[in-house]
């Protein structure tokens, strides 16, 4: 936990199904596209001053422009938001990205003078990131991974998956070191599989890193169209989105040096979904939490 200011998004300000206007999402989880514009509202802004702005990104919206001119993105949406308010085209700098199907915190600079500090912090891994994910599978690699309170480090180099564009895997082509600290917060067993709520802290910045590492542990993120698994028992409960949310950022303010922490609540769809899994688990197994028995070790 960092020291200094703590800023929170309003609870429920942005979930998987509210918090944005004029978004028409179509297809399954892997095929969501934005048609029209994402209108940023004041409630989507977690923190802002004259130097930086942190927004709570909506589901299905890319962080930056894509090759599809009809697909909106966070950079353009925040630019429009500031332009409407200030009556002129603002400066905006994007220093990191979230996958389109990931919701949560995105930090942008509003002044060129802030770029050097923010860029250096990202490059030196001094910006702390925390994500929430719901992972599920037929069987994890280690029982440790479904023991509430257990922590481990997924330490597996990530590279390109052969023959699959924009797909990655541990040990893939051109692999680079990748490490993710993972905490199992809650876990349940149900007919045909297990599921858990995980707090994930990436220590490196590889593409799809958390998604690949959880899948490597046998707990692919629910709704992930590339690496996830959706056990049959969960299909009727699934909220129809990838269950990955960037919920916390810690960094030094680029101008004052003050240590800051910003947080965005977990989407309501996340919470409701896991509560439904827990109720189903209690009904079928008589237990809410799954504790590994005689488990030791694991990846990392």
Active site residue 99: yes
- Length of the chain, in residues: 300
Token pair of 148 as six digits: 């509430």
Token pair for 287: 């237990």
Beta-bridge partners for 94: 108
Q: Give the C-alpha separation, 267 to 249, whole Å.
A: 16
Q: What residues have CB less than 8 Å from 1, skipping those under 6 apart?
A: 261
Among 76, 99, 155, 224, the one annotated catalytic: 99
Half-sphere exposure of 232 (CA within 13 A, CB side): 2
- Containing 53, the helix (H) or strand (E) segment is strand 52-57
Q: Which two tokens stand for residue 290?
A: 């799954």
Give Cα 63 to chain centroid, integer Å.
Answer: 12
Q: Are 217 and 260 in contact (CB under 8 A)?
A: no
Cα–Cα dist 186/132, whole Å: 12
Handedness of CA 210, 196, 243, 127 (dihedral sign): negative
Residues forming the active site: 99
């Amino acid at each position: 936990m960092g020291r200094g200011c703590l800023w929170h998004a309003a609870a429920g300000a942005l979930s998987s199904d509210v918090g944005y206007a004029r978004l028409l999402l179509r297809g399954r989880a892997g095929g969501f596209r934005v048609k029209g514009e994402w209108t940023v509202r004041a409630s989507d802004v977690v923190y802002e001053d004259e130097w930086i702005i942190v927004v709570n990104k909506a589901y299905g919206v890319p962080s930056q422009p894509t090759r599809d001119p009809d697909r909106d993105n966070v950079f353009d949406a925040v630019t429009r938001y500031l332009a409407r308010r200030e009556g002129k085209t603002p400066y905006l700098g994007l220093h990191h990205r979230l996958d389109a199907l990931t919701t949560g915190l995105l930090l942008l600079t509003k002044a060129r003078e802030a770029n050097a500090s923010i860029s250096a912090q990202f490059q030196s891994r001094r910006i702390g990131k925390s994500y929430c994910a719901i992972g599920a599978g037929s069987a994890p690699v280690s029982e440790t991974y479904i023991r509430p309170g257990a922590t481990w480090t997924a330490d597996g180099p990530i590279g390109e998956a052969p023959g699959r564009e924009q797909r990655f895997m541990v040990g893939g082509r051109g692999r680079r070191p990748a490490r993710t600290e993972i905490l199992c917060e809650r876990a349940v067993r149900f007919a045909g599989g297990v599921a858990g709520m995980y707090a994930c802290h990436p220590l490196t910045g590889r593409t799809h890193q958390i998604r690949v590492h959880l899948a490597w542990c046998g707990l692919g993120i629910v709704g992930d169209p590339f690496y996830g698994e959706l056990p049959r028992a969960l299909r009727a409960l699934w909220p129809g989105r990838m269950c990955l949310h960037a919920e916390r950022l810690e960094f030094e303010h680029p101008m004052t040096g003050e240590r800051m922490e910003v947080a965005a609540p977990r989407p309501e769809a996340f919470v409701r979904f896991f509560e439904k899994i827990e109720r189903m688990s209690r009904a079928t197994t008589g237990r809410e939490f799954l504790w590994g028995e005689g488990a030791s070790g694991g990846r990392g």
